Amino acid sequence: MEDKHIRIARRGYDEQDLKWFSETELKKLLKAQEEVLWLMDRGYKMDSVINFIGSHYQLASRQRIALQRGTSSTLQCINRKEKLIPIDKINEKSIFIDGFNLIITLEVALSNGTLIYSNDGTIRDLAGLRGTYRLIDKTYKAIEILGRFFKDLKIKEVIFYFDSPVSNSGRLKQTILEYFKTWDIKIQIEFVNNADPILESKERVITSDSIILDKCISWFNVTGYIIENYIQECCSIYKFNTSFTSI
């Protein structure tokens, strides 16, 4: 099914990450995260905190993004944990997927790009969508792995939500549908102007988006499960949970 002319690329890969996330820099980031969390737990806004702490520690832009995506307040972490559904419950009813959020993170994992294991237990990428998206060779691998995951866990129905203004979303839809023709899974793909407010009102959501996680009724931590069980070659994950180390 893969297009032989598809671009071979490494999603979310930056050769400077070996510098920005070296052992020395990780120790500095761990200290910075402690201070970010302390301020956030006292009501300070994320953007202001990241700018302040980032300037104090002279962090590069990519390090600041990692710090922001890797850190949530204690109350946010508690709230998200309370709404987290065990993965063995995933086949009971339909699931609602933040399409680009899930697929891009898996593409980054398959590219051995940099991923952040955040203090709320989710895995997030540093790729950044910004309205543009192109299918790459890892896209097909990510979709194939998703299909295996759905089949292995006997999931009955999957509903993807994609932001329609993003380029190549239609092509991605057709690619997903082609793969799923051979699997006994009911699938829907919805194009919307903004998937966030829709997913925020639902239960059984699959995403690592912070805003959606704070507002949705319940969610599954699927990205981490897939990376751990289906993408063994992924290794550039930096941990913002109990410690800030490469795992």
User: Residues 66-124: pLDDT tens digits?
Assistant: 999 999 999 999 999 999 999 999 999 999 999 999 999 999 999 988 899 999 999 99
Report, as ranges of residue numbers, the positions in the chain whose pLDDT lies below 50: 4, 242-247
pLDDT of the residue at 3: 57
pLDDT of the residue at 244: 43
Per-residue HEC secondary structure of the chain comes to CCCCCCECCCCCCCCCHHHHCCHHHHHHHHHHHHHHHHHHCCCCCHHHHHHHHHHHCCCCHHHHHHHHHHCCCHHHHHHHHHHECCHHHCCCCCEEEEHHHHHHHHHHHHCCCCEEECCCCCEEECCCCCCCCCCEHHHHHHHHHHHHHHHHCCCCEEEEEEECCCCCHHHHHHHHHHHHCCCCCEEEEEEECCHHHHHHCCCCEECCCHHHHHHCCCEECHHHHHHHHHCCCCCCEEECCCCCCEC
pLDDT of the residue at 246: 38
CB count, 10 Å around CB of 191? Answer: 16
Tell me the C-alpha distance between 180 and 184, whole Å: 8
pLDDT of the residue at 243: 41
pLDDT of the residue at 245: 40
The domain segmentation of the chain, as residue ranges, is 16-71, 87-239
Q: Which fold has domain 87-239?
A: Rossmann fold (3.40.50)
